[in-house]
């Protein structure tokens, strides 16, 4: 199995990441990544770009060094009602939207509240996936989240970076993959690279997916065509909203 799409990465625009889009794309090409989603942090995170950044992503070519560039955001979940720091009319213009909890943007609460927030996020037609949902600081009811992802046809992200920076994520990530397999929910895999050299780094993800024998049809990053099909369908869905 080879993952050829990296669906979660950050550029220098995030404020605490260190490579330009050109550097990221070049390294993607070197690492056999055919499609790269740029998902810089939403504006609620200190050092992240202002909204205008996300309104102007059209100036970036859709292909760089032979690598397809997907323009997205990692929106910050800012309350437990399902709001993010990105207005809906900005989300509409993006190819791909992931949303996540970060302690510096929202204070952790109870499992019930975290779960309620994620269920509300999954209902938002403009949000495609929950990023690093295995973070134990924002523990959720995994079964409920996976079932909701199934209901709303959304993705669960398995984040390679979590294993290093979000201590205790392994157990939750494993359970997420198991439940996704059980319920037939698709996953997306992100390196969450904050520097070009980490683009396409999926060592932890490969191990986990191998251990659980995750079927390839449930893994979005397995082919560029599969991801393109999802993006096309998303555009049709947005046009009908
Ligand atoms: Zn994140
Ligand atoms: Zn990230």
Each residue's pLDDT, cut to its tens digit, for the chain (241 residues) gives 999 999 999 999 999 999 999 999 999 999 999 999 999 999 999 999 999 999 999 999 999 999 999 999 999 999 999 999 999 999 999 999 999 999 999 999 999 999 999 999 999 999 999 999 999 999 999 999 999 999 999 999 999 998 888 878 999 999 999 999 999 999 999 999 999 999 999 999 999 999 999 999 999 999 999 999 999 999 999 999 8
pTM score, two decimals?
0.97
The candidate with the shortest Cα–Cα distance to 37, out of 75, 60, 8, 74, is 8
User: What distance in angstroms lies between residue 75's CA and the mean position of ligand 1's atoms?
Assistant: 9
Phi, psi of 75 (to 5 degrees): -75, 145
Residue showing tokens 């996540």: 100
Of the candidates 52, 42, 38, 48, the one whose C-alpha atom is nearest the C-alpha of residue 15 is 48
Cα–Cα distance for residue pair 144/4, rounded to 1 Å: 30
Q: Which residue has the tokens 């209902």?
A: 123
Ligand nearest to the CA of 14: 2
The CA 10 to ligand 2 mean position distance, Å, reads 6
CA 101–ligand 1 middle distance (angstroms): 7
**CA 99 to centroid of ligand 1, rounded, Å:** 8
Q: Tell me the ligand closest to 101's alpha carbon.
A: 1
Residues around ligand 1, an ion, CB closer than 5 A: 100
Distance of alpha carbon 130 from alpha carbon 74, whole angstroms: 9
Q: How far is the CA of 179 from the centre of ligand 2 (A)?
A: 23
């Amino acid at each position: 199995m080879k993952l050829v799409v990296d669906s979660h990465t950050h550029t220098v625009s995030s404020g605490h990441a260190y490579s330009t889009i050109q550097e990221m794309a070049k390294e993607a090409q070197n690492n056999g990544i055919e499609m790269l989603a740029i998902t810089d942090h939403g504006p609620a995170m200190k050092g992240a770009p202002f909204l205008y950044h996300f309104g102007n992503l059209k100036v970036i070519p859709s292909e760089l060094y032979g690598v397809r560039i997907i323009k997205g955001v990692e929106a910050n979940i800012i309350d437990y009602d399902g709001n993010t720091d990105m207005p809906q009319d900005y989300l509409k213009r993006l190819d791909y939207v992931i949303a996540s909890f970060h302690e510096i943007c929202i204070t952790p609460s109870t499992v019930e509240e975290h779960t309620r927030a994620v269920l509300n996020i999954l209902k938002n037609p403009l949000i495609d996936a929950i990023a690093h949902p295995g973070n134990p600081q924002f523990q959720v009811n995994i079964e409920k989240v996976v079932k909701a992802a199934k209901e709303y046809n959304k993705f669960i992200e398995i984040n390679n970076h979590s294993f290093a920076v979000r201590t205790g994520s392994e157990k939750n990530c494993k359970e997420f993959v198991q439940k996704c397999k059980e319920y037939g929910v698709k996953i997306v895999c992100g390196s969450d690279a904050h520097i070009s050299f980490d683009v396409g780094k999926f060592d932890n993800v490969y191990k986990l997916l191998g251990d659980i024998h995750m079927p390839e049809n449930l893994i979005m990053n397995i082919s560029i065509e599969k991801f393109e099909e999802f993006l096309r369908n998303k555009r049709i869905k947005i046009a009908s909203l």
